[in-house]
Amino acid sequence: MTEAEAAEELERLAREIARHNRLYHDQDAPEITDAEYDALVRRNAELERQFPRLVREDSPSKQVGASPSGALAKVRHAVPMLSLDNAFSDEDVADFLGRVRRFLNLPQDEGIALTAEPKIDGLSCSLRYEKGRLVLAATRGDGTTGEDVTANARTIAEIPQSLPPGAPDVFEVRGEVYMSKAAFAALNARQEETGGKIFANPRNAAAGSLRQKDPAVTAARPLCFLAHGWGEVSGLPGGTQAEVVDVIRGWGFPVSDDFRRFADMASLLAHYRGIEAKRADLPFDIDGVVYKVDRLDWQRRLGAIGKAPRWALAHKFPAERAQTTLTAIDIQVGRTGKLTPVARLEPVTVGGVVVTNATLHNKDEIERLGARVGDRVVLQRAGDVIPQIVEVLTRDEDRPPFVFPDHCPQCGSEAVAEEGEVDIRCTGGLICPAQRFERLRHFVSRGALDIEGLGEKTIAEFTALDWLKEPADIFRLHRHRDELIGREGWQAKSVDALLTAIEAKRQPDAARLLFGLGIRHVGIVTARDLMKCFGTLPRLREAAVAAHAGDADALAELTSVSGIGPAVVAALGDFFHEPHNIEAWDDLLAEVQPPEYVVETRQSPVTGKTLVFTGSLETLSRDEAKAQAEALGAKVAGSVSAKTDLVIAGPGAGSKLKKAAELGVEVIDEAAWNALVAAAG
Ligand code: IVH
């Protein structure tokens, strides 16, 4: 771009943004979405960065406070906001305790005290106090980054504005913002009268009320708060969950009346049953009971795996059930080509929600249930999970059994099951419109590249025009600018807003980009773990290709990433084996340049090094040792090779120790390892 072009665009942006500010603030009549507005502001900032000489007197970037973007600002959590693993039975709870015991290497007779409290169906919120004053309230978002809702949270009466003297300098209280059942019903009644938005359940109502641009709207909604934990803190007023929660309660935060501490599993489960029994009578929705290991030193050692702590568990209540009639079975084609049968049902209310569809998962499930169109079935709905058919009640043998298609209903390609797999998939790849559309939709979705303005409708329009076939095409849409402006529903303004939003993603986060490709088994958590280990996408690809070709070192490197098992390795290998995927990948990486993925880890002598643990460890389990090493930025490998930097050997170490000696790799014992971990803080 030339300087003259940049000057022209900056002038246009200054005018546009000023106009949208007026529309939004003075006239309450915005013409563009918050995301489109943000894209304009970002484009302005980007141009000013490239051409600092061109920053205008009337630049939107200079108007402090004049451009509250409409959208809520994003905030990065100092400590990630995690989610919880679920348990659905007493056995699951026993397994959880077993895992904790093994990880901590505790003797069988050592008790593990747990706290228990209801799992509130609201949205989590982190309240940050500095020097005793509330300075930030943030929603959970994706766990790493949430939205700034400080002004709104200040309007919630149950949230203290300050902490008493003596509280730590920095303290983030975390808990649930929720709406009572009664307030929800009253709100919906009012909304109905005034023609406002009707909320599906109290949780949606709470979320919609907290995530408001105008705090006055939040203030008018009766929101409540229950504290259940904390985030970043400069000091902890106790050594156990129960002690700290007590202090938080003493500071004036509401804490559940059903918060208890138990030393044994029987009384824990009795408490669960007690809460379950009074669930319907509680003034707010709950969907289970949360257990937490009481001792905080144990919590710290247990740490987290993926996005959930090893020291906490959500014991869910059993799903609610209802009966209805199966009216049809449709086949949907997902973005990975999976053919999923969907049951169409006569509408029925389950757990307060009207259900008309249920998943039937796959061909085997239909056969297992023996489901036929016209059957009377039992439907189950558990929390947010898609409703399921659990049982067929009447069986009319006269009705024909369902025949699962052997061709894709979308593109007519053959549909087959991979070896050893139950799922049937369309083999049409990117020629299949269902997959093309779904893949692109996933690619731009919020968890992936998050390109605002490129919604389902737009993708459908562009794929129909053949402008979009693969992700890289998104970054070439600007070639169709003039043509697009002429189309119905598009004006120069909306086209440019979209193109600006796309341009803003030329340096995407590598993990989101990887996740966006929709490789099987590579969810966002796995994508992040992989990027943490490999840093750049080309390095990851090199390892995946080498592992696929049978290179043992590459395989070891991949599987040393925590949470990466054979299924992920195979999926990555398969992905890079398919010529079309490689083409699409190369094409994409010619359009976008993700910066190297940097992870904040504690610096230590082993940061960036590859370690091998061998022999038996006495104070640590293998999992804990591995988690410690990863927290220090080291990689843990399973075997000693030329790439190994350090071996930690316990008693009984054999061939690996020998190999280390041969290769001249440094060897230390467990005590030295513990000292190293302690020294790193
Ligand atoms: S503890 C690291 N306790 O459930 C532990 N969470 O499914 C994080 N929730 O995001 C949460 N009631 O929003 C905890 N008593 C409770 C809770 C609770 C509701 C929510 C919370 C969390 C989600 C995880």
* Local confidence band at 46 (pLDDT 50, 70, 90 cut-offs): confident
Beta-strand runs (E) in 334-475: 339-350, 353-359, 376-381, 388-392, 415-417, 424-426
Q: Count the helices and strands in the chain (H runs, E runs).
A: 25, 24
Range from 7-21, 57-71, 73-87 that averages highest in pLDDT = 73-87
CA of 176 to the centre of ligand 1 (A): 7
Of 62, 119, 338, 363, catalytic: 119
d(CA 258, CA 273): 12
Residue 602 has pLDDT above 80, yes or no: no
Indicate the range of 132-146, 287-301, 409-423, 435-449 predicted with least confidence.
409-423
- How does pLDDT run across 289-348, given as a tens digit for each residue? 999 999 999 999 999 987 899 999 999 988 778 899 999 999 998 877 889 999 999 998
Q: How far is the CA of 229 from the centre of ligand 1 (A)?
A: 9
CA 46 vs. chain centroid, Å, equals: 28
Cα dist. 623→80, 223, 474, 563, 654 in Å? 21, 41, 42, 11, 20
Gap between the Cα atoms of 226 and 249, Å rounded: 10
34 pLDDT band (50/70/90 cuts)? low
Active site residue 197: no
pLDDT tens figures, 226-262: 999 999 999 999 999 999 999 999 999 999 999 999 9
Q: Which secondary-structure segment (H or E) carries 611?
A: strand 610-614
* 176 CB within 6 A, ligand 1: yes
Ligand 1: nearest atom to the Cα of 123: 13
- The three state secondary structure string of 222-236 is CCEEEEEEEEEECCC
Residue 79 CA to ligand 1 center (angstroms) comes to: 15
Please determine, for residue 67, whether its predicted confidence score (pLDDT) is greater than 50: no
- Whose Cα sits closest to atom 21 in ligand 1? 124
Whether the CB of 449 sits within 6 Å of ligand 1: no
Q: Model's pTM, two decimal places?
A: 0.55
Q: Assess whether the C-beta atom of 77 lies below 6 angstroms from ligand 1.
A: no
Residue 517 pLDDT > 70 = yes
Instruction: Quote the pLDDT of residue 27.
Output: 54
pLDDT at 604: 85
339 lines ligand 1 (CB under 6 A): no
CA of 84 to the centre of ligand 1 (A): 7
- Whether residue 313 has its Cβ less than 6 Å from ligand 1: no
Q: What's the confidence (pLDDT) of residue 568?
A: 87
The chain-wide mean pLDDT, for the chain, equals 88
Distance 69 CA to ligand 1 centre (A): 30
pLDDT for 65 equals 33
Whether 284 contacts 121, CB under 8 Å: yes
In percent, the amount of the chain with pLDDT more than 70 equals 95
Q: Helix (H, G, I), strand (E, B), or coil: what is residue 540? A: helix
CA-140 nearest atom, ligand 1: 10
State the sign of the Cα–Cα–Cα–Cα dihedral 20, 25, 29, 30.
positive
Name the band, by pLDDT with cuts 50, 70 and 90, for residue 415: confident
- Residue 227's DSSP bridge partners are 175
Q: Is 220 within 8 Å of 158 (Cβ atoms)? A: no
Pocket test for ligand 1, best of 178, 284, 290, 298 (most atoms within 8 A of CB): 290
Q: Given this model, what pLDDT does residue 619 score?
A: 86
pLDDT tens-place string over residues 169-199: 999 999 999 999 999 989 988 888 888 787 8
The ligand 1 atom at the shortest distance from the C-alpha of residue 82 is 2
- The pLDDT, as a whole number, for residue 29 is 62
Q: Is the CB of 228 under 6 A from ligand 1?
A: yes
Give me the mean pLDDT over the 503-512 stretch: 95
pLDDT at 26 over 70: no
Kindly provide the residue ranges of all beta strands, DSSP E only, lying in 23-96, ordered along the sequence: 74-76, 86-87
Residue 229's pLDDT is 98
Helix axis angle for 202-210 and 181-194, nearest 10°, is 70
The stretch 146-168 carries a mean pLDDT of 95
Question: Given pLDDT bands bounded at 50, 70 and 90, which one contains residue 533?
Answer: confident
Residue 154: pLDDT band (50, 70, 90) is very high
Closest C-alpha to ligand 1, atom 18: 119
| pLDDT score, position 557 | 83
For residue 418, is pLDDT > 60? yes
Q: What is the mean pLDDT of residues 422-447?
A: 82
Segment of 33-42, 288-297, 637-646 carrying the highest mean pLDDT = 288-297
* pLDDT in the model for residue 35: 64
State whether the beta carbon of 450 lies less than 6 angstroms from ligand 1: no
Q: 105 C-alpha vs ligand 1 centroid, how far in Å?
A: 26
The tens digit of pLDDT for each residue in 104-120 reads 999 999 999 999 999 99
Q: Please work out whether the CB of residue 21 comes within 6 Å of at least one atom of ligand 1.
A: no
Output the six-digit token pair for 175.
Answer: 């808990």
The tens digit of pLDDT for each residue in 70-107 reads: 578 999 999 999 999 999 899 999 999 999 999 999 99
Whether 316 lines ligand 1, by a CB cut-off of 6 Å, is no
Name the pLDDT band for 1 (thresholds 50, 70, 90): confident
pLDDT band of residue 53 (cuts 50, 70, 90) is confident
Whether the per-residue pLDDT at 520 is higher than 80: the answer is no
- Token pair of 220 as six digits: 């008018």
